[in-house]
């Protein structure tokens, strides 16, 4: 009898000095997850490369919020297929929301994807890669049980600038009709407040001066965990960390935006003067069908309250046009809301169904041409409002947190040191200005700047004084 042939295994995989290139689509949560992926792989010996031609693994951290996300992933990776031919050891992976949503079917559909994993499986990535290197294509997308989800600890050593993101919760319990997030990120789980504060302190110790707290619905923070403080109380605890200059947060939900949280903008000096409060529609009937849990009156009351607490606060929002059943009258109501709200900026999109959501079961009945026309109208209105808001900065004095050299950085000139740097106002507008020191000395410092020029999305100014550290 013949002996069975020995299985042809690849040599044992050694992660040391393997290189990973990550392409990140979507929101800050995905940017944050990319940091965690690099942290996990870094601990296993991998190094990041910004050059995909040098990579042993290319990962696409995907987003399913926008239209045709699968197509975007396939387009990105298919353009890189020649790299696989040149380097047979190269692997392609997909993670993030699309990976979570489609799982193994992505492997079936796209033969050149080697691994697929969901946001809750980031910590398992070294094992997923090792399994793939034995010759198997691997999909791992189990969501954690909310009762025992473990957040990956923050690694402050990977932070290189004065601003950092910090996740304070995962998932969402709201189930807005059009949104895929509760299905791909799971139910809400809040990170314990003591851990959040300790992580902020560890970031401050390495030079971080501004933290953006992240969650799908930060206003519901703590509601899933007995004994945890409310979001307003968490803000107060984070703002009290010595050495932290600014706190920001995204994303808020108008139904959960309570008075205590809104009033914090008037009482916490380090709470940055900016609030993103997505409204989605100016029609009560559309809001009801979107299952948003508030009406226009409640929304406008939230804006009025936060403006009373913090005059001059920058407000931004999201709008979806062409939701199923949106009539011309519904859309005019949205236009009226945008006119009245006077947002500093607005992110507006045409509705498109996400498979698996409640809204996807309803006929997508607003024609594409009508959606496009409505989008153009709302964007044109907002452009004129945003321009007026930006012009309001001319001649004002703003305190800017310096991030580093500007895109047009220059050093020296006529024997005198002159560096172009950039940073953000408390209202989150980018300001470019010249300083008489090197950028590294200025990074992470607060500087008072007079605004001399308003550009479409940024400002230019002149230093008045450096704030004391």
CB of 170 to ligand SF4, least distance (A): 11
Cβ pair 261, 302 in contact under 8 A = no
Chain-centroid distance of CA 107 in Å reads 27
> Are the C-beta atoms of 375 and 90 separated by less than 8 Å?
no
Evaluated on CA atoms 90, 60, 175, 262, the torsion sign reads: positive
CB of 182 vs ligand SF4, minimal distance in Å: 5
What DSSP designation does 219 have? Answer: G
Of the pair 164, 320, the CB lying nearest ligand SF4 is at 320
B/e letters for 241-271, b = 16+ CB within 10 Å, e = fewer, are beebbbbbbbbbbbbbbeeebbbbbeebebb
Contact indicator for 401, 424 with CB cutoff of 8 Å: yes
d(CA 5, CA 394): 77
Instruction: State the Cα–Cα distance between residues 300 and 66, nearest whole angstrom.
Output: 27
Q: Which is nearer to ligand SF4, 172 or 313 (CB)?
A: 172
Report, in Å, the least distance between residue 458 CB and ligand SF4. Answer: 29
Which residues form the interface with ligand SF4 (CB under 6 A)?
Answer: 172, 174-176, 179, 181-182, 216-217, 253
Spatial separation of the C-alpha atoms in residues 267 and 33, rounded to whole Å: 32
Q: Cβ closer to ligand SF4: 65 or 314?
A: 65
What letter does residue 102 receive in the DSSP assignment? H
Min dist. Cβ of residue 364 to ligand SF4 (A): 18
Nearer to ligand SF4, 263 or 318 (CB): 318
Q: Smallest distance, Å, CB 175 to ligand SF4?
A: 5
Q: Which is nearer to ligand SF4, 132 or 216 (CB)?
A: 216
Minimal distance in Å, beta carbon 40 to ligand SF4? 25
Q: What is the CA radius of gyration of the chain?
A: 24
Nearest CB to ligand SF4, comparing residues 181 and 454:
181
Q: Residue 323 Cβ, how far from ligand SF4 at the closest point, in Å?
A: 13
Compare residues 252 and 382 and give the one whose CB is closer to ligand SF4.
252
- 77 vs 180, which CB is nearer to ligand SF4? 180
In angstroms, the CA 369 to CA 364 distance is: 13
| Local structure of 27: helix, strand or coil | coil
Q: Minimum distance between the CB of residue 187 and ligand SF4, rounded to whole angstroms?
A: 11
At a CB cut-off of 8 Å and minimum separation 6, what does 108 contact? Answer: none
Strands (E), 55-137: 57-62, 91-95, 115-117
């Amino acid at each position: 009898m013949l002996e069975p042939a020995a299985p042809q295994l690849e040599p044992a995989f050694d992660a040391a000095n393997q290189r990973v290139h990550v392409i990140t689509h979507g929101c800050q949560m995905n940017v944050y997850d990319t940091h965690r992926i690099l942290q996990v792989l870094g601990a296993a010996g991998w190094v990041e490369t910004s050059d995909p031609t040098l990579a042993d693994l290319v990962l696409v951290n995907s987003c399913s919020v926008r239209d045709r996300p699968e197509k975007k992933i396939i387009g990105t990776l298919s353009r890189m297929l020649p790299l696989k031919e040149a380097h047979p050891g190269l692997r392609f992976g997909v993670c993030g929301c699309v990976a979570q949503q489609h799982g193994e079917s992505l492997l079936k559909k796209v033969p050149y994807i080697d691994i697929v994993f969901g946001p809750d499986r980031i910590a398992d990535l070294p094992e997923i890669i090792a399994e793939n290197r034995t010759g198997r294509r691997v999909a791992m997308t189990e969501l954690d049980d909310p009762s025992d989800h473990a957040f990956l600890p923050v690694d402050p050593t990977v932070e290189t600038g004065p601003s950092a993101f910090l996740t304070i919760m995962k998932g969402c319990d709201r189930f807005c009709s059009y949104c895929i997030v509760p299905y791909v990120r799971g139910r809400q789980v809040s990170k314990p407040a003591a851990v959040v504060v300790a992580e902020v302190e560890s970031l401050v110790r390495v030079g971080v001066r501004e933290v953006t707290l992240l969650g799908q619905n930060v206003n519901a923070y703590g509601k899933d965990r007995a004994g945890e403080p409310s979001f307003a109380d968490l803000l107060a605890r984070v703002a009290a960390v010595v050495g932290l200059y600014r706190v920001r947060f995204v994303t808020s939900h108008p139904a959960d935006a309570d008075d205590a949280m809104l009033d914090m903008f008037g009482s916490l000096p380090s709470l940055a003067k900016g609030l993103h409060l997505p409204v989605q529609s100016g029609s009560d009937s559309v809001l009801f069908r979107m299952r948003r849990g508030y009406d226009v009156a409640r929304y406008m009351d939230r804006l009025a309250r936060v403006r009373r607490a913090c005059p001059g606060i920058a407000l931004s929002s999201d709008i979806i046009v062409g939701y199923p059943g949106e009539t011309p009258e519904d859309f005019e109501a949205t236009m009226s809301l945008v006119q009245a709200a006077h947002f500093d900026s607005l992110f507006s999109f045409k509705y498109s169904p996400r498979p698996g959501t409640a809204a996807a079961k309803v006929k997508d009945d607003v024609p594409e041409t009508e959606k496009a026309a409505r989008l153009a109208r709302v964007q044109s209105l907002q452009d004129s409002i945003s321009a007026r808001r930006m012009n309001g900065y001319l001649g004002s004095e703003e305190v800017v947190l310096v991030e580093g050299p500007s895109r047009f950085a220059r050093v020296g000139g006529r024997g005198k040191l002159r560096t172009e740097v950039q940073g953000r106002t408390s209202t989150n507008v980018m300001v470019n200005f010249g300083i008489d020191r090197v950028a590294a000395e200025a990074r992470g410092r607060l500087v008072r700047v007079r605004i001399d020029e308003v550009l479409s999305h940024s400002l230019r100014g002149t230093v008045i004084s450096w704030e004391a550290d």
